[in-house]
Each structure stands twice: as structure tokens, then as C-alpha cells.
């Protein structure tokens, strides 16, 4: 029962077209124009698109070649992760003015638990408004937000009034909201799963809710229980400010396919240096090195080796990656190489100030959303 669960005030903040908006912020001449971040060249893949470009069907993960067909006047700009990271830190410092319970999902989105907040404010909706106003004033970018009793509903709600808007789903509105929701908008239901649900007559939350847990488990495996719970507003995952990084990686897509290991060594050197730089910046090391190879036919292969000690040095990462490259013959010419480190020495201790007894908060408390 939803009424038996602890109730929290969760905000999901999602920056609007973040990478593209940063490019427009830094270059005012690009404002109001259709732009794509990345995707330039014959083999480029788009990282992000402005809202002006999205109107033409341009979106992330699309090839630049297809994007320019859809939007002939599209402007390509280079990615600048150092800039994105700097702005992301600026935004995160605003979040931390309200609560220590901030769980970043990426550079451009995060969950905030404001049940107990530093400002002593009762309304999570007003907190979200204030945060969005500060981001616009102090950073120059717009953000959207979703506010509700758990992370799942807050994330779904944040997409409702994009861009530059917010939606609050009050406790008493949770079940009606979920029943009316298109199944494609359920966080965790991808394109393939949505098609499968359509075939089984599941189009909305209401359709999903009438299915038994046995039916959902039989047809959707382990995800079945998740779907059964979330459509009933049950999602007990807490906001975790210290998400443990499990891996760190870098990869490169080549403008021309590479057919020999010899041609790949120079590329691997640059990738190893980038991975090492990121490891040192994050102050972590890893034991398991994985080489990722994507062939010209788009098939993917990974080769891994676990060392007896933690490493972060580029030279060791490179030598291990070389060994993995020569481990087996290549199946085809190669369009992408990547190196990742996992099995990290990440500290799993959570600082005392980040511990909040969320379970002590019950629905009997008077909440103003």
C-alpha cells in the first residue's frame, strides 16, 4: 500500500538541452538556431541537439549524416566536456545550498531530497522554483524539474513541462497520474519494451496496473516486479549523495576504419592518456582494464584483464590494452576503440552528515508540495 510507505519530498532537476544550451550561452550568435553538439564529419555521432534542431527530428545518438538531411541548416559545434563539467559544478553548488542529499545522475541532472532542507522551507515546489531561478540568474541556463514523493515519479514529472518548466505530483495525485501516463513515459521502459507492451495491450499505466505480478514476471523477467511496483507509486530507493563510481572510460570513433593493429597503437596511446587523466582527476585507481572494439559492421567485442594491483598510470594502462589488442585476431576493420577501468578502489563510506533517517518520515505528516 502506498499509504504504508515513507513519504519524501524529492526533486529531479534536469537541465534543458544542456550541451547545446552551453554552446549557445558561450556563443550568443547561436541562440535561436538549430545546432548539434558533435556529429561533424563523415562518421560523427551527435551528442546533443538544441530544441530548434529537435523540431526537425535531430536527436542525440543520431549520425551527423542523417541529421543534416533532416535539417539542412544545422550547425555543428564541438563538444567541450571541461566546460560542461565546470558549469555542472556551479549548478551542484546551488543544490548544496538547499540539501546535502544530492544524487547526480550525470553532468546535467540530479535528484535532491528536500524533505529536511537547509532553508527550513516546507514547499518542495517553491524550492524547485527557487533553484531554477538561481540557475538562470547565476549560470544563464534554464532547467526543468519534477517534484513528488519518490525518485521515479519526480523523474517522470521533470519531463512533463520541458523546457524551462516544472510539474508537481502531490501524494494524493500519484495513482491517478500514473494510471493516465503513456507507458512510453515510464522511466525504465525502453523502446523495445514499449513495443512489446503495446503488443500485449498495455498502453497506459492503467493497462499495466491490471496485470498481475506473475504475468509481468513471466513476460518481462526481473523487470516485471519493478513495473508492478512503480505503477502503484512504490519506489523506495533513497537519494544517495555518494554514488559509487563503478568504472571510468574513454573511447574514440575513427573517421576511417582501421584494418591493422599497428594503426591502432597511436590511437590507444591517446585513449590511455585520457583515461589516466580522468582517473587522476577523480583520485581513483582500478584493477580491471577492458578494451572495447567496435567493428565496421557495428558488432562489439570486449577483452579484459585484471591486474593484481590498482593502477592509474597511462603507461601501464596502454601496455595492458596492447596485450588485449594482440590477444586475438581482429574480426573485421575497426571503427571504434575504447579503454575502461573497473574494479575501482572507490571509498564506500558515507559521511555522517549525509545520513538522514528517511524511514522515520510517514504519510501521517502534513506535507506541502
The residues annotated with a catalytic role in the active site are 109
Contacts (Cβ under 8 Å, ≥6 apart) of 76 = 35, 36, 37, 38, 39, 40, 44, 64
**Distance between CA atoms of 309 and 21, rounded to whole angstroms?**
42
DSSP letters, 124-140, are HHHHHHHHHHHHHHHTS
For residue 112, the SS3 value is strand
Compute φ and ψ for 11, nearest 5 degrees: -115, 130
Contacts (Cβ under 8 Å, ≥6 apart) of 252 = 267, 270, 271, 336, 337, 338
**Distance between CA atoms of 274 and 282, rounded to whole angstroms?**
12
Read off the DSSP letter of residue 354.
Answer: G
In this structure, the number of other CB atoms found within 10 A of the CB of residue 31 comes to 13
Contact in structure between 44 and 64 (CB atoms under 8 Å) = yes
Compute φ and ψ for 253, nearest 5 degrees: -100, 135
**Distance between CA atoms of 113 and 316, rounded to whole angstroms?**
41
Amino acid at each position: 500500500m502506498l499509504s504504508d510507505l515513507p513519504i519524501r519530498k524529492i526533486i529531479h532537476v534536469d537541465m534543458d538541452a544542456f550541451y547545446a544550451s552551453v554552446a549557445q550561452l558561450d556563443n550568443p550568435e547561436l541562440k535561436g538556431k538549430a545546432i548539434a553538439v558533435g556529429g561533424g564529419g563523415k562518421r560523427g555521432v551527435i551528442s546533443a541537439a538544441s530544441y530548434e534542431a529537435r523540431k526537425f527530428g535531430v536527436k542525440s545518438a543520431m549520425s551527423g549524416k542523417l541529421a543534416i538531411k533532416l535539417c539542412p541548416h544545422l550547425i555543428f559545434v564541438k563538444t567541450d566536456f571541461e566546460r560542461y563539467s565546470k558549469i555542472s559544478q556551479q549548478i551542484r553548488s546551488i543544490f548544496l545550498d538547499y540539501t546535502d542529499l544530492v544524487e547526480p545522475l550525470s553532468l546535467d541532472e540530479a535528484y535532491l531530497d528536500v524533505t529536511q532542507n537547509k532553508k527550513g522551507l516546507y514547499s518542495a515546489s517553491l524550492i524547485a522554483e527557487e533553484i531554477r531561478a538561481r540557475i538562470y540568474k547565476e549560470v544563464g541556463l534554464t532547467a526543468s524539474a519534477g517534484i513528488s514523493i519518490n525518485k521515479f515519479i519526480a523523474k517522470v514529472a521533470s519531463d512533463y513541462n520541458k523546457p524551462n518548466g516544472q510539474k508537481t505530483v502531490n501524494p494524493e495525485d500519484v495513482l491517478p497520474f500514473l494510471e493516465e501516463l503513456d507507458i512510453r513515459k515510464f522511466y525504465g521502459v525502453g523502446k523495445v519494451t514499449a513495443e512489446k507492451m503495446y503488443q500485449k495491450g498495455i498502453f497506459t499505466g492503467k493497462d499495466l496496473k491490471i496485470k498481475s505480478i506473475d504475468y509481468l514476471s513471466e513476460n518481462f523477467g526481473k523487470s516485471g516486479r519493478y513495473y508492478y511496483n512503480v505503477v502503484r507509486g512504490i519506489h523506495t530507493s533513497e537519494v544517495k549523495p555518494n554514488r559509487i563510481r563503478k568504472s571510468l572510460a574513454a573511447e574514440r570513433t575513427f573517421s576511417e576504419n582501421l584494418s591493422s593493429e599497428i594503426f591502432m597503437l597511436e590511437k590507444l596511446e591517446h585513449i590511455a592518456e585520457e583515461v589516466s587523466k580522468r582517473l587522476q582527476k577523480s583520485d581513483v585507481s582500478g584493477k580491471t582494464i577492458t578494451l572495447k572494439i567496435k567493428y565496421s559492421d557495428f558488432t562489439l567485442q570486449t577483452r579484459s584483464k585484471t591486474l593484481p594491483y590498482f593502477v592509474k598510470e597511462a603507461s601501464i594502462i596502454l601496455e595492458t590494452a596492447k596485450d588485449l589488442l594482440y590477444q586475438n585476431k581482429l574480426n573485421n576493420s575497426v571503427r571504434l576503440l575504447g579503454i575502461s577501468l573497473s574494479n575501482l578502489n572507490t571509498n564506500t563510506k558515507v559521511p555522517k552528515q549525509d545520513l538522514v533517517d528517511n524511514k522515520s518520515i510517514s504519510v501521517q505528516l502534513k506535507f506541502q508540495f
